[in-house]
């Protein structure tokens, strides 16, 4: 037993020597990448496509719904369908509810089959700016995998949770073939605005007669589903805006790839 302990401590000693020689190299390589990114950050064009905050086409409104799939998706989808418009759903994998539950899978399919755009809001709604390169990849990969499994699409557009990004997030998004899209209008529904306040925000924004609108809302909020969306869908139409997806208002493809959905399996877990 004693000799085993000795052997173990020897092995640990060797391991620590190996670590001591390898870890600094890894850190050095990592630091080099970070320095490289920092050096490029001040250049607005930079090596990365700019983060998109607005639509490009005139008289189009892209209404976006974050944080689902959740209970109110079908109602929201139906309002847009009734109005002859489309919305964009930025889905999480495991935020308010696991995307692999049967109700969630059905809602993802419902949104997709009704012609709305399906985009990535990453897996667990973490602040990506606090994560490592590998962790950001993982947060993005897991929700992409879920969407590939459930509806067969690989999204071309992602929105970082909280709209929080840095150069590392932009780098990972580019490596995954995705554009980073935030918004130019926030209904305030996730930050404490009442229904009246959200409506007032919309009225104030539209009162400036913007050429177009890229609006942030949350499908997980009941007042948004029951009161704001029905109201704003009518208002936007009345003001002459076309209700389109984010991809449509940017003239880009919504998906990198479309394949056949997969057969559910027990490995589909959150």
Q: Are strands 157-158 and 153-155 parallel, antiparallel or unpaired?
A: unpaired
Choice between 198 and 242, CB closer to Zn ion: 198
Choice between 158 and 206, CB closer to Zn ion: 158
Contact between residue 69 and residue 89 where contact means Cβ atoms under 8 Å apart:
yes
**Closest separation between CB of residue 266 and Zn ion, Å?**
29
Q: Which helix (H) or strand (E) holds 120?
A: strand 117-120
Only one of the segments 62-70, 140-148, 198-206, 252-260 lies at the binding site for Zn ion (rule: CB under 5 A); that segment is 62-70
Residues 6+ apart with CB under 8 A from 27: none
Residues of span 86-115 touching Zn ion by CB under 5 A: none
Measured between alpha carbons, how far is 173 from 180 in angstroms, rounded to an integer? 7
CB atoms within 10 A of CB 206: 18
Choice between 66 and 144, CB closer to Zn ion: 66
**Closest separation between CB of residue 160 and Zn ion, Å?**
9
CB atoms within 10 A of CB 29: 10
Instruction: For the chain, list the strands marked E by DSSP.
Output: 60-66, 88-91, 117-120, 153-155, 157-158, 179-180, 185-186, 212-218, 242-244, 255-258
Which residue sits closest to Zn ion, CB atoms considered?
66
Q: Residue 155: is it exposed, middle or buried by C-beta count within 10 angstroms (0-12/13-18/19+)?
A: buried
The residue count of the chain comes to: 270
* Residue 12: both structure tokens together: 């640990």
User: Is 67 a binder of Zn ion (CB under 5 A)?
Assistant: yes
The site string for Zn ion over 129-168 (x = CB under 5 A, - otherwise) reads --------------------------------x-------
Choice between 116 and 241, CB closer to Zn ion: 116
Interacting residue with Zn ion among 52, 64, 66, 151 (CB under 5 A): 66
Residues of span 161-180 touching Zn ion by CB under 5 A: 161
Only one of the segments 2-10, 61-69, 135-143, 203-211 lies at the binding site for Zn ion (rule: CB under 5 A); that segment is 61-69
Choice between 146 and 206, CB closer to Zn ion: 146
Instruction: Give the residues lining the site for Zn ion (CB under 5 A).
Output: 66-67, 161
């Amino acid at each position: 037993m004693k000799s085993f302990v000795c052997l173990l401590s020897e092995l640990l000693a060797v391991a620590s020597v190996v670590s001591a020689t390898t870890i600094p190299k890894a850190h050095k390589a990592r630091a080099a990448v970070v320095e490289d990114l920092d050096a490029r950050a001040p250049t607005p064009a930079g090596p990365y496509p700019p983060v998109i905050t607005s639509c490009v086409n005139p008289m189009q409104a892209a209404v976006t719904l974050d944080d689902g799939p959740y209970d109110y998706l079908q109602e929201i989808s139906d309002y847009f369908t009734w109005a002859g418009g489309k919305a964009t759903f930025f889905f999480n994998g495991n935020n308010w509810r696991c995307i692999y539950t049967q109700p969630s899978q059905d809602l993802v399919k419902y949104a997709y089959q009704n012609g709305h755009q399906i985009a990535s809001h990453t897996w667990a709604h973490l602040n990506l700016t606090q994560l490592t390169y590998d962790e950001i990849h993982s947060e993005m990969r897991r929700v992409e995998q879920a969407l590939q499994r459930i509806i067969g699409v690989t999204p071309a557009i992602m929105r970082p949770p909280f709209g929080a990004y840095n150069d590392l997030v932009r780098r990972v998004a580019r490596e995954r073939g995705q554009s980073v899209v935030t918004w130019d209008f926030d209904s305030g529904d996730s930050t404490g605005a009442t229904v009246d306040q959200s409506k007032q925000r919309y009225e104030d924004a539209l009162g400036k007669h913007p050429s177009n609108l890229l609006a942030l809302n949350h499908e997980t909020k009941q007042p948004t589903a029951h009161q704001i969306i029905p109201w704003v869908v009518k208002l936007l139409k009345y003001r002459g805006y076309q209700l389109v997806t984010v991809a449509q208002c940017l003239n880009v493809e919504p998906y990198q790839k479309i394949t056949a959905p997969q057969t559910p399996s027990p490995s589909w877990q959150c």
